[in-house]
Amino acid sequence: MNDRQPVVVGVHATEQALTLPDRDAMDLALEAVRGAIADAGLTPADVDGAQVDWPGPGGVPGEGSSWARMLGRDLRWTSDSMLDNAGSRGLLKAAAAVRAGFADTVVVGGCKLVSRGAGPVGAGVPLEFADVWGSYVVAQFALVAARHMHEYGTTSRQLAEVAATIRNNGTTNPEAMMYGRGPYTPDDVLASRMVATPFHLLDCCIVGEGGAALVVTTAERARDLPHPPVAVLGGGMEYHQAAYANPALHREVGGLGRDAATRAYAMAGVSPHDVDVFSLYDPNSFEVIRQLEILGLCGEGEGGPLAASGAIALGGKHPVNPDGGCLSYAWNGTQQMTLKVVEAVRQLRGTAVHQVEDAELAVVGNAGSGAQHYEMSVLGRMR
Amino acid sequence: MNRPVPVPTELSEPFWEAARRGDLVVPYCPACDLRFFVPEPACPGCMGPEWWYVPSAGRGTVYSVTVVHRAPGPGFDTPFALAVIDLDDGGTLLSHVDAGDPDAVVIGLRVRVDFRLLTDEITLPYFVPER
């Protein structure tokens, strides 16, 4: 294996909660960065790249190079974009930088305090032809789900099976926001109040606050670090259009991510059926069904029956979100994407709360905005 | 707080002006013979610099619909049918279909435009069942 093979050597998730009244964004970001660097067995001065949110106070809010003074050294790589600081997208950009030699060790992450006084989740800027119609994230995904159901016969009960399965993983995860709540049956999901058809309340993810970070370096540098390195074996990204300005149409975005997945698997030299555990974006139950299709686990339109067959449960053929995902563990704005990487890394280290036995290969899938974008990475235990 | 009111831009001003007259217009690119929506700084089909608004007959079919029970903010009467409408003569719009009962709005429903006043400046293209 190439010496510059990018590997994840450190991860940290802060506490995740509906609201963290005693924390501010900067202190959560600092904890995430300190935690990930410490977990990697490194010191701040070992890090020469930072793709991390800088909310302030101090520095220049939004400017990533503010981290140079915290890390105590000049940086070789940085990012000013919230989406470049999270999840597979952040990880792949950091991995590309490490692979190319622009930097040796990059920290990726941040935090957001989203629920405090925030409006509904949306683009964050006024959208002339969307806001006036009451379009928002749940409704945008609902428009895609409704068309999928119309074309393929996907049912509300299949959606409810997904929600119940993933939520029940969180029920027994002490780190999950919804720990101890549940367990849920599909009937419980179907009996919860309607948010936007076909999504009931329990089909939709939670909204909370928290931070997360990870550290990427080279396989060579990782040799004398404490944790077994997790290799970034492949990845792919796909962008249909900017978020929310136009409605998400199933005919345009139903298959979004398939190209990214095909590239990612080819790069990693693996097939989707080799993957032991999936850490997937679950803003709602349907988006998991869509991803089963684009990730190549079944044909187009077959995601509903596959999800309802028990395949995505712990112990199933394709376990999805053993931590409880965004439906039960945590959703904290863009950093929920980093939490997906954190869970995959823990699974591959063998230290997850709900460990998939002998997990060697994981997929992290991030998406959003009614599936207008998709970013996925293939991670593997180094042998 | 009220329902968000669109703020016209240099791209959209003719759309809202037509709507005030009760006319539905959509951007049209002559280079690739494409009607599109929303208005963009260049044609999304060919990136051509020149496009203009052309009238639409305002009839179409519901491509997808969600009945929204929890609105994203104040100013909305819930539940409402938020729908994507494919216009017969080209272009795809987000709108509300007012069929009385929102659950009666289903994929494939034939609809026609029905303008309704939001403010002095903004008249909105709602849709209603064709018959």
List, for residues B70-104, the tens digit of each pLDDT value: 999 899 999 999 999 999 999 999 999 999 999 99
**Cβ–Cβ under 8 Å, residues A380 and A230:** yes
Q: Are B93 and B37 in contact (CB under 8 A)?
A: yes
Whole-angstrom distance, CA of residue A178 vs CA of residue A323: 11
Residue in A132, A201, A205, A251 to test binding to B, most B beta-carbons within 10 Å: A132
> How high is the pLDDT of residue A112?
77
Confidence of residue A126 (pLDDT cuts 50, 70, 90): confident
Strand partners, B28: B35, B52
pLDDT single digits (tens) A319-351? 999 999 999 999 999 999 999 999 999 999 999
Q: How far apart are CA B116 and CA B123, in angstroms?
A: 5
DSSP string for A60-128: -TT-GGGHHHHHTS--SEE---GGGGSHHHHHHHHHHHHHHTS-S-EEEEEEEE-SSS--SSS-SS--T
* Higher-scoring residue by pLDDT: A173, A113: A173
- What pLDDT was estimated at residue B124? 98
CA distance A146 to chain B (A): 6
pLDDT at position A117: 45
User: Testing the interface with B: which of A150, A192, A199, A246 to mutate, by most B Cβ within 10 A?
Assistant: A246
Q: What are the pLDDT digits (tens) for A260-290?
A: 999 999 999 999 999 999 999 999 999 999 9
A263 vs A113 pLDDT, higher one: A263
What does the DSSP assignment read for chain B?
Answer: --PPPP---TTTHHHHHHHHHT--EEEEETTTTEE-SS--SS-TTT--S--EEEE---EEEEEEEEEESS-SSTT--SSEEEEEEEETTS-EEEEEB--SSGGG--TT-EEEEEEEESSSS-EEEEEEE--
Given the DSSP bridges, would you call strands A49-52 and A230-239 parallel, antiparallel or unpaired?
unpaired
Instruction: Find the CB nearest A131 among B4, B70, B80.
Output: B4
The reply to whether residue A131 touches residue B9, judged by beta carbons under 8 angstroms, is no
Q: What is the mean pLDDT of residues A117-125?
A: 56
Closest chain A residue by Cα to residue B5 = A132
Runs of H (alpha helix) within chain A: 25-39, 67-71, 87-100, 137-152, 156-171, 186-191, 219-222, 250-253, 258-268, 285-294, 303-308, 325-328, 336-349
**Does residue A116 register a pLDDT over 50?**
no
Nearest-Cα distance to chain B for A132, in Å, is: 5
Among A111-120, A310-319, B29-38, B52-61, the least confident range: A111-120
Pick A135's closest partner by Cβ from B5, B8, B82.
Answer: B82
C-alpha angle A190-A193-A198 in degrees, rounded to nearest 5: 60
Within an 8 Å CB–CB cutoff, is residue B107 touching chain A?
yes
Q: What percentage of residues in chain A have a pLDDT greater than 70?
A: 96
Mean pLDDT taken over chain A: 94
CB A97 within 8 A of CB A107: no
pLDDT score recorded for residue A114: 63
Q: Output the pLDDT for position A28.
A: 95
Contact A176, A326 (CB under 8 A): no
State the residue for tokens 């940290």.
A12
Closest residue on chain B to A136 (Cα): B72
With an 8 Å Cβ cutoff, are A245 and B7 in contact? Answer: no
pLDDT average, residue stretch A222-241: 96
pLDDT of residue A371: 77
- Closest residue in B to A201 (Cα) is B70
CA angle A324, A325, A331 (to 5 degrees): 125
pLDDT, tens digit (0-9, with 9 covering 90-100), for A258-267 = 999 999 999 9
Q: So what's the pLDDT on residue A7?
A: 98
Question: What stretches of A269-310 show up as alpha helix (H) in DSSP?
Answer: 285-294, 303-308
User: What's the CA gap between A378 and A64, in Å, rounded?
Assistant: 26
**Taking CB atoms and an 8 Å limit, are B72 and A119 in contact across chains?**
yes
From B7, B79, B84, residue closest to A126, measured CB to CB: B7
pLDDT, position A2: 58
CA gap A302, A116 in Å, rounded: 39
Give the whole-angstrom CA distance, residue A177 versus residue A194: 22
Nearest-angstrom CA–CA distance, A220 and A359 = 23
| Mutation choice for A interface testing from B10, B69, B70 by most A CBs within 10 A | B70
Contacts of B121 in chain A (CB under 8 A): none
State the complex-level ipTM: 0.97
Query: What is the per-residue pLDDT for A99?
Result: 97
Q: Does the distance separating the beta carbons of A120 and B8 come in below 8 Å?
A: no
Beta bridge partners of B129: B111
Q: Check: CB of residue A286 under 8 Å from CB of residue A145.
A: yes
Strand order from edge to edge, sheet including A230-239: A77-78, A49-52, A106-113, A209-218, A6-13, A230-239, A373-381, A361-368, A277-280
The predicted model gives A34-54 an average pLDDT of 98
**Per-residue pLDDT at A122 exceeds 80:** no
**Kindly report the CA angle at A207 between A201 and A212, in degrees rounded to 5?**
145
Query: For residue A301, what pLDDT is reported?
Result: 97
Which pLDDT value is given to residue A124?
66
Q: What is the pLDDT of residue A242?
A: 84
Farthest-apart Cα atoms in chain B, separation: 43
3-class state of residue A241 by DSSP = coil
**Test mutation, B63, B64, B87, B113, chain A, max A CBs within 10 A:** B64
Maximal CA-CA distance, chain A = 57
Query: What element of type H or E holds A218?
Result: strand A209-218
pLDDT at A121 over 60: no
A243: confidence class by pLDDT, cuts 50, 70, 90: confident
CB contact under 8 A, B94 and A135: yes
Which of these, A40, A66, A70, lies nearest to A53 by C-alpha position? A66
Q: What is the mean pLDDT of residues A231-237?
A: 98
B3 touches chain A (CB under 8 A): yes
Q: Are A226 and A41 in contact (CB under 8 A)?
A: yes
